[in-house]
Amino acid sequence: MSGLGTGGPAGETPGAGPPSEGRRGGPPDGSLRVGPRYAGRAAELRDQGSPLPGEDLTPPVHLALLGGPRVALSPSPDMHRNALALAGIRGDYLPFTVNAEDLPTVLPALRTLGYTGLNVTVPLKEKVLPHLSGLTEEARIIGAVNTLLNSPSGWLGFNTDAPGFAEAFVKDLDPCPVLILGAGGAARAVLHALLTLGFMPSVSARRIEKAQALAREFSEAYGAPVETLPWRNFGEPWGIVVNALSASSPEELGENPPAPALEPGGLMADLNYGRGNNWFRRLAVESGAAFRDGLPMLACQARLSFIRWTGLADIPLDPFLEGVGAL
């Protein structure tokens, strides 16, 4: 399967950084690893040769994560293995490093192998769109997907990032102005969530023309204003700032990231996770604001993906939170 390789330990992944800067996606030998609360159940299912009474567990459910080299650091396998064990479903979730140019080969191969569902992450959330047989309206508006479901007609695309962001960061907050840093696929999901909930977003990116095009597109689609601001010139302190860039440190960006003013008691939300020398965490501390990274959002969107694949709407958030170390 050209361009597809399982993610190994963090230290063995080119450009992924040392293990202390992230999480592994699972043992390189492919063995099942779940949280301690689910280990007994997982062992029972792994050793079992037939379905449990009253349950149709055949064939096993095959799930996977596709993306760049950082998939080896993802906690997604831990989250979904926990959920499979809790639900009494035999199966597994594996991370694969995939190049965008190999998607025409990889996606049909995974269908042939019987994979039920896939997650896609950076840099594939937008690049995978031409290879799908259908999209939800939400995913079409956002212009990016993170969840694929194997259907008779091909892979169907969904976006659970937007509702995952809303649940993790802003569902209990009153609508207010929000500054979004970045204008890529992650920013599109954040914009959708904020506009749906009545927040007033502004966008800033190094390429101002990209931010302007994004703001214009979403303003027209939602009938609500979306402002654009010059890079590094953000005006008055903000109550909420969202880092939707793929970088969280000077080392990743090649320069110091922007430093928007935060209100004391405000919120700095960084959609990345497991990043060393996090510029935005330090900015929040210096401003007296709260800091949250992307792990709670990852857990929330993972649960929504799992529901899409299995139909188990009552699966709790706990196995996903444990998978990201937040429980």
| The 154-158 sheet, strands edge to edge | 4-6, 91-98, 61-67, 117-120, 147-151, 154-158, 134-135
| Element housing 94 (H / E) | strand 91-98
Percent of the chain clearing pLDDT 90 (strictly above)? 75
Residue 254 and residue 230 in one domain: yes
Cα(231)–Cα(258) distance, rounded to whole angstroms? 8
- As a residue count, the chain comes to 327
Cα(49)–Cα(60) distance, rounded to whole angstroms? 11
Per residue in 121-146, pLDDT tens?
Answer: 989 999 999 999 999 999 999 999 99
Residue 143 and residue 18 in one domain: yes
Cα(219)–Cα(233) distance, rounded to whole angstroms? 21
- Asked if 210 is an active-site residue, the reply is no
Residue 39 neighbours by CB under 8 Å, 6+ apart? 85
Q: Between these two residues, 25 and 55, which has the higher pLDDT value?
A: 55
Percent of the chain clearing pLDDT 70 (strictly above)? 82
Cα(269)–Cα(289) distance, rounded to whole angstroms? 10
Q: Is residue 79 in a domain?
A: yes
User: At 148, phi and psi to the nearest 5?
Assistant: -120, 140
Provide, for the chain, the percentages of residues in helix, strand and coil under a 3-state DSSP scheme, each rounded to the nearest 5.
Answer: 40, 20, 40
Pairing mode, strands 117-120 and 147-151: antiparallel
Residue 327 neighbours by CB under 8 Å, 6+ apart? 318, 321
Quick one: pLDDT at residue 185?
A: 85
Instruction: Give the range of the structural domain holding residue 265, as residue numbers without chain letter.
Output: 163-295
pLDDT band at 44 (very low <50, low <70, confident <90, very high): low
Q: Is residue 221 in a domain?
A: yes
Is residue 314 predicted with pLDDT exceeding 70? yes
Q: Is residue 285 in a domain?
A: yes
Q: Which of 125, 127, 171, 210 is catalytic?
A: 125
| The 227-228 sheet, strands edge to edge | 227-228, 200-204, 177-181, 238-243, 262-270, 290-292
Q: Between these two residues, 43 and 176, which has the higher pLDDT value?
A: 176
Average pLDDT on 36-52 reads 53
Per residue in 171-210, pLDDT tens?
Answer: 999 999 999 999 988 999 999 999 999 999 999 999 999 9
Average pLDDT on 99-113 reads 97
Residue 191 and residue 238 in one domain: yes
Cα(272)–Cα(197) distance, rounded to whole angstroms? 22
Average pLDDT on 298-322 reads 96
Q: Is residue 140 in a domain?
A: yes
Residue 104 and residue 217 in one domain: no
Quick one: pLDDT at residue 38?
A: 63
pTM given for the model: 0.81
Residue 57 and residue 97 in one domain: yes
Cα(264)–Cα(202) distance, rounded to whole angstroms? 20
Cα(279)–Cα(272) distance, rounded to whole angstroms? 12
Residue 246 and residue 274 in one domain: yes
pLDDT band at 234 (very low <50, low <70, confident <90, very high): very high
Per residue in 241-280, pLDDT tens?
Answer: 999 998 999 999 989 999 999 999 999 999 998 888 999 9
Q: What is the CATH number of the domain that holds 71?
A: 3.40.50.10860
Residue 285: DSSP 8-state: H
Residue 80 and residue 175 in one domain: no
Average pLDDT on 84-112 reads 96
Q: Is residue 284 in a domain?
A: yes
Tally of domains within the chain: 2
Q: Residue 195: helix, strand or coil by DSSP?
A: helix
Is residue 87 predicted with pLDDT exceeding 80? yes
Quick one: pLDDT at residue 80?
A: 97
Quick one: pLDDT at residue 32?
A: 44
Residue 139 and residue 283 in one domain: no
Quick one: pLDDT at residue 122?
A: 86
Residue 155 and residue 8 in one domain: yes
